[in-house]
Every structure is written in C-alpha cells, then in structure tokens.
Structure 1
Amino acid sequence: MYKSAELQCSGSEAGPSYESLQTVFDRKPFRPTLNYSRPTSVNISFTIYAVLGVNEKSQILTTFLWLRMFWQHEFLTWTPAKCGAVEKISLPVEQIWTPDIIVYEFIDEDKSQRTPFVYVNHTGRVRYDKMLRVVSSCNLGIFHFPFDVQNCSLTFGSYMHTVRDVRLGLALPVEQILQNSLQYLETNGEWELVRIEGSPDILKFGIDEWDIITFWVVIRRRPVLYVVNLIIPSGFLMLIDIVSFFLPPHSTDRASFKMTLLLGYTVFLLIMNDLLPSTANGTPLIGIYFSVCLALLVLSLLETVIITHILHRGKLSGSVPGWVKSFVLGFLAQLICYKDKIDFSPPVLDLLPPDALSSGAERHLAFISQNLRMVREVLESKQQLQAQEEEWVQIGYVLDSLLYRLYLIFIGSYAIIIISVWCVWYNT
C-alpha cells in the first residue's frame, strides 16, 4: 500500500529513486488512481503523415498517423526541488499502465514501429506518442470517380474500460489537428487531405457505455492522371468519329473506318480496365460514360450501314415513292436547311421529228432516223434510271445530314451533363 502518492528521491540522486519507481512498475496492471471511483481522463490528438492507399474493392483506407495521448498517473509525482530540479523523465512504456485506446475501424494488424518510451513530468502527466499504420474500413463511394471525395471515420476509444474508468477528451482543437496534418503530410500522391471533423460521443452496448471520439477524415482524389489517361483519349476517339461523317456517304471507306475506330475503342477499354475501381455495390460514372461512348460508336456505324443501304437501293428498286420524296426532300430538307440539291433533269436530245426524216427523198435517211430514235429511247431510259438513282442518293444525303446533326446534339448534351455532374460534385 502507498503511504504517499509522491515519489521519493535519494539525497545524491537527480530524479526519483529506482526503488520508488520499481514500486510503481509493480502496480502496472492497475489503473493509476488513488480513488477508483474517479475515472482517468485521457486526452488524445493525432497527425496524419500519409494517405497510403484506398482500396475501393475491399472498402479499405490505409493511413499513417502519429497518435499522441495524455493522462494523469497519480503515482508518478515528485517534487523537483527534492529531486535535483528534475521535472521530466522518460520511462519504458512496458513498465507503466497505458490506456487501451484503439481505432474501432481497424481491420488489420498494426505493423508500424513501436515507441519504447513515454515522457512523465513531475505532476504525473504522461505523454505517449504512438505511430500507427491504420488499415480501416470505410464506406467508399466510387460513383463520381475520378472526381470523388471520400469521407472516412476514425473512432478512438477504449477497448475494455467503460466511462466509469476512462474518459476521453481532445488534447488539441480539431482545427489545429487539421493544420498539423496539412503541414506534415508527406505524401503528394493520388489523394489530398481536405478537412478533418471530430466530436465526442458515447458508445452504448448493452448496459455498458464507452467514451469515444469520432473523427471524419475527408480526402479528395487528384484526377489529373485519370483525365489524361482515360477521359481525353476517349474524347479524341469520339471527335474522330464525328469528323468521319465528312467522308462521302456512298464511299465504302466510311464504314471500314468506323469499324476500325470501334475496334480501337474496344481495345482502349480493355487496356484501361485496370485503372477503373470496382465494387459490388455500384458502377462509377466514368464506366457509364465509356459504355455510352461505345454505344454511340455502334450507332454511328449503324447509321453508316443504313445510309449505304439507301444509296445502293436506287440500283435495285424503281422510282422513289411520292410520300418519301415529299417527306424527305421536302419537309426534312427544309427542316435541316439542306441546300445541296442536284438537278436531275435529263438533257433533251434535239432530234429531227420522224415525219421530217421519213419524208426525205433518200431511203437511207429513214433508216438512220429509225436508228436514232432507238438510241434516243435507250438514252432516255438510262437517264430516267439515273435520275431515280440520283433521287435515292439525295434522300440518303438528306438523311445522313439529319442523323449527323442529331448525333452532334446528343453527344453535346451528353458531354455537358457529364461535365456538369463531375464539376458540381468536385466543387461541393
């Protein structure tokens, strides 16, 4: 039993004596208080030194932080005037009682370096600096990837001691914890620290209550890497697809070019698939963006197939139906202000009338006139077929121009929506 809570010092020794300290060391399993009805107050603060990684698939956040704890050890007090003016000493952390403060979200073994000593001043106030490599669970949302902001909680509390034994408090204001973390943050990688928020709370489990402090660490992804490697190349491929509409619709080069572009985009998605996060509870917006871009490339190729079919139909079918001609060449052409019209009126052959040729004196003139009439009929038939074919060609050009403008409107609207969603989320 302690007759006095104050440590004793020998006459010639600077600091508490070994014997008095050994008595304190023997009481390590017991909470250092003179009255067990009074809880021990533990004040904590921490500094985030690095954001080591975020695993979206496993929903894990890995950080490296320095935890600092203060508490009052009522048996480690002495009078500096009686102990050679010594006001502070360091003691082995294994030899004295330490609070069992843990991070509740911890899901892996702490592999960080252990701190072997604690500092104790003459008033009994103990300071314990502890390095932690925290592998914690976090509900990570990836919908707005790569412009996502993650809000992960770090809950500090005692593992066994309830509020009747250990009470927690803040050693520093939350704003100071944030400033220290921003000042000493060593990593300049994919993630940046935005803010830290914290508040004390009581954890209830059955009839017992534990004092806890929950900190919310808000980090934001630096999107430059993904913008350069994913979004910009995809935008270039879509731009090339838009430009390909300027190839002649009746040329087979357009279809082959679009098929090659579609194949290239598919290979691009396969190569960049490892950069995209994957979880079982959602799909990132950029994945939807890539899927829609791929669907647009397929629709672009389908549009080329339809226009090619219309352009070649004139060689296989007869004249254009009247309602098609009036709707496409009339209504749709005026709707899209299509003015590149072609004059299909066949040239008129200026031949002599049959009566004038047959009334000649010589018989061979009648024979020539008959042959010329046959040639004229053949030419008129070919010119009529050519005019019908050219009408189908003009219908194809009008439809191609209409579909191209609708394609541009859809791509423009889609791009504006995607960019707006990303910008609003990133700046919120």
Structure 2
Amino acid sequence: MNQLWSNLTSNFQNFHPPAQLTNNTVYLFGDLFQILEVDERRGVIILKMFIYHFYHSEFAKWDPNMYNGTKLIMAQKGTFWDPPIVLRDSIDVIYETYNDQGVLHEGYIYSLYQFLTVKLSCSFDVSRFPFDRQYCPIVFNRLAGYNHDVDFYGDEMQLKLYMDNDEWDIVHPITTSRLDQVLSEDGNNRKINHELIIHLSIERKYLFYLLFLVFPNMILYLMSGLTFLLPAESGEKVSCAVTLFLAQVVSFGTLANIFPASSRNLPVLAYFVVIVTFHMGISCLLAIFSSGGSGCWCSLADMAVEASS
C-alpha cells in the first residue's frame, strides 16, 4: 500500500496537469439542488448546487493483483492535481463541503460531490412579466492566467435531488454545450479558452400575480365604466368615480414595488396599469363635470382629505 501511494504521488504535481492527461480533457458534471433567490432588480440569481469532476491519466493506473487487490485510494483534497475551474459570472461562491479525492486503478482521478452556494449575475428580460421565462447560463472555464491547455466536457443536469421553488419552475431539459474562444494566436501557437456552459432556463409561476395583480386591476377598470350608468342627480356618481380612482392609485403604488425595476424592458403589464390609471382619472373628471354644482367639488375635497388621513 505504501509503495502504491509513493508511486502515485511521485507521478503527479499539485499545480500542473499530470503527465499523459488523456486528451487534455476534464469531465465536469453539475446538478441543481435548489433555487434560493431570483432578484430581478439587482440582476442576481442564487443557486445551491452539487458539482464533481474527473479526468484520466495513464500514470494513475495500477494492477490490483500487485497491491493486495486494492482498486481505490482516497486522499485529501489537493493531494493530486485539481483542475483550475471557476464560475465566470459568479459574484460569490460558498463551498459548504470540501470532499476528498479518489483514484481508481483504471486511471481515473475524481473529486466527490462538492456542495456549494453560488451567487451569479444574470441579465433578466421582464417585458412579459408575470408570464416571463428567464435564461441564466452557468459558465465554467479555467482560471485566468492558467497557461496549460485544458478542455472541459459535461452532460445535462439530471435534477435527481432538486427541490421545487415556490415562484419558479425549471424548463427541462438543462443541456450543456462547449464554447472555444481563441484568445491569442502566434504562428502555430494558439491560446484557446474552453468554456462549459450549462443552459439554465426558469419560468415564473404566474397564478399568484393573476389573482392579486391582474384580476383586481381589471375589475376596477370595468367598474369605472359603471359610474356613467348612475344618474347625475343621485349625488353618488362623483363619489363612485373618485373612490375607484383612489383605489387604483393605491393599487398602482403597490404594483410599483412588485414590478421588477427595469427601464430597458418595462413589463407590458405596467403599460396596462398606467393606461388604466390615466383613463380612470379622465373618467373621474368627466363625472365631476357632468354632475356640476359646488356640492360635487365639496364631496371630492372631503374624500381626498379622508384618503390622505
């Protein structure tokens, strides 16, 4: 056992790719555990993930029959070479577990599952809010300044341990792709940056917004048209119009806190709310003018005072 350990550690260096790294390739796999937060205002998504990777080297092979049938050796993280993998768009990464490395007698060196919480920057398009779908790619590449050419391969997420989110649904499947970018080229020497992209798409659950945002505004808008069915001499025409208008103004202020703050992709629903508020304001003025008399103005003033208090 000691002889096997000595042979393995002598063949590897911690900070350089091992000799005979097969195809200069590292196989990277990730799985999503939970969506913790999606903040459209700040352009941030927070995920809890599992990741692990492995690579193959001829120098990591041995015959189990020569070492008492030993087929697997475990070592502390960092004993053997670790691929310099980083998340390109990460703002903050918290590694909650630091697992050991394993070496199989077939020549595979792998890391066990690493449990991490990652905060990523993402560009959101909320123009179809609340029926929107967001695309937030998770991009893995090598550490900046790392000179060795290492390629990455991966597979789609299986979501075996995924916990459902109350506000967002995952759009299946979550596929992966590779992107090769030529950073510099000097004769036959080309410096290529390899990226592995996990295509994560999420879709908003809209039922809450339909019940508490869309339907109430539509009801207020439809009721505003009923004020013209009231006779002017009843004295309730102005009161009804002003009450509905004030209710819409209060609703508008509430919606301003719900809508994602974006001047580039303003939600279509926001245009609807603005138009409805403007139209109900005009309806209120028309109701006042059609009623006439100073009593109506006094009623308007009294209701404004009550609303402000």
Q: Could you tell me how far 1:34 is from its partner in structure 2?
A: 4.2
> Cα offset for 1:273?
2.8
Indicate the SS of the match to 1:244.
helix
Q: 2:132 aligns with which of 142, 145, 148?
A: 148
Rounded Cα–Cα distance in structure 2 between residues aligned with 1:272 and 1:280: 15
Structure 2 vs 1, CA of residues 75 and 215 (structure 1 numbering), >3 Å: closer, same or farther?
A: same
The code of the aligned residue for 1:192 comes to: D
Supply the distance in 1 between the matched residues of 2:28 and 2:145 (Cα, whole angstroms). 16
Q: 1:205 to 1:19 in 2, by over 3 A?
A: closer
- Return closer, same or farther for 1:41/1:141 CA change in 2, 3 Å cut-off: same
**1:23 matches 2:10:** yes
What is the CA deviation profile of residues 65-114 of structure 1, one whole-angstrom value per residue up to 9, with x for unaligned ones? 212212124433221111222212221112211101112111x2211313
**In 1: Cα distance, 2:103 partner to 2:192 partner:** 29
Higher normalized helix content (fraction of residues) = 1
Residue of structure 1 in register with 2:285 after alignment: 302
C-alpha displacement of 1:266 = 1.1
Please give the residue correspondences for 1:21-60 in structure 2 after superposition, counting only pairs within 5 Å.
21-23=8-10, 27-34=13-20, 40-60=24-44
Matched residue of 1:273: which SS? Answer: helix
Residue type at the aligned position of 1:23: S
**Structure 1 residues 114 and 73 mapped into 2: Cα distance closer, same or farther (>3 Å)?**
farther
1:241 matched to which residue of 2?
Answer: 224
Cα offsets for 1:312-331 (capped at 9, x unmatched): 7xxxxxxxxxxxxxxxxxxx
C-alpha contact 1:163 1:211 (8 A) present in aligned 2: no
Q: Does 1:256 align with 2:230?
A: no
Once the two structures are superposed, the pairs formed by residues 53-92 of structure 1 within 5 Å of their partners are: 53-92=37-76
1:203 aligns with 2:191: no
The aligned counterpart of 1:167 is: 151
Counterpart check, 1:273 vs 2:273: no
TM-score normalised by length of structure 1: 0.62
CA contact (8 A) 1:49 1:66 kept: yes
1:219 match: 202
For residues 5 and 201 of structure 2, what CA distance do their matches in structure 1 show?
Answer: 47
Structure 1 segments of 4+ aligned residues over 3 angstroms from their partners = 16-25, 160-164
User: Per the alignment, do residues 287 and 185 of structure 1 end up closer, same or farther by CA in structure 2, a change over 3 Å counting?
Assistant: same
What secondary structure, in the 3-state scheme, does the structure 2 residue paired with 1:233 have? helix
AA aligned to 1:184 is: L
Give the alignment partner of residue 166 of structure 2, picking from 165, 189, 209: 189
Across the aligned residues of Structure 1 and Structure 2, the Cα RMSD in angstroms comes to: 2.4
Shift of 1:47: 1.0
Higher relative contact order (CA 8 A, sep 6+): 2
Q: Secondary structure at the match of 1:242?
A: helix
| 299-308 or 253-262: bigger deviation | 299-308
- Cα drift, residue 308 of structure 1: 2.6
Q: Which has the larger radius of gyration?
A: 1
CA distance in 1, matches of 2:65, 2:38: 53
In 2, distance between residues paired with 1:34 and 1:294?
70
- Contact kept? 1:255, 1:301, Cα under 8 Å: yes
For 1:356, the equivalent position in structure 2 comes to none
Aligned-pair distance for 1:297?
0.8
Question: How far, CA to CA, are the matches of 1:169 and 1:254 in structure 2?
Answer: 70
CA distance in 2, matches of 1:54, 1:142: 12
Q: Which has the higher strand share?
A: 2
Could you tell me whether the CA contact under 8 Å between 1:146 and 1:226 is conserved in 2?
A: yes
Q: Aligned partners of 1:133, 1:153: CA distance in 2, in Å?
A: 16
Deviation (angstroms), 1:160:
4.2
Which residue in 2 is equivalent to 1:285?
268
In 1: Cα distance, 2:153 partner to 2:6 partner:
33
Partner Cα distance (1:145, 1:300) in 2: 28
| Residue in structure 2 matched with residue 101 of structure 1 by the alignment | 85
Q: Letter of the aligned partner of 1:109 in structure 2?
A: D
Shift of 1:144: 0.8
**1:120 corresponds to which letter in structure 2?**
V
The CA deviation at 1:159 is 1.6
Is contact 1:24–1:96 with CA below 8 Å preserved after alignment? no
- Unaligned stretches of 5+ residues in structure 2: 186-190, 294-309
Match of 2:108 in 1: 125
SS across alignment from 1:63 = strand
Distance 1:226 1:80, change over 3 A: same
Secondary structure (helix, strand or coil) at the match of 2:233 reads coil
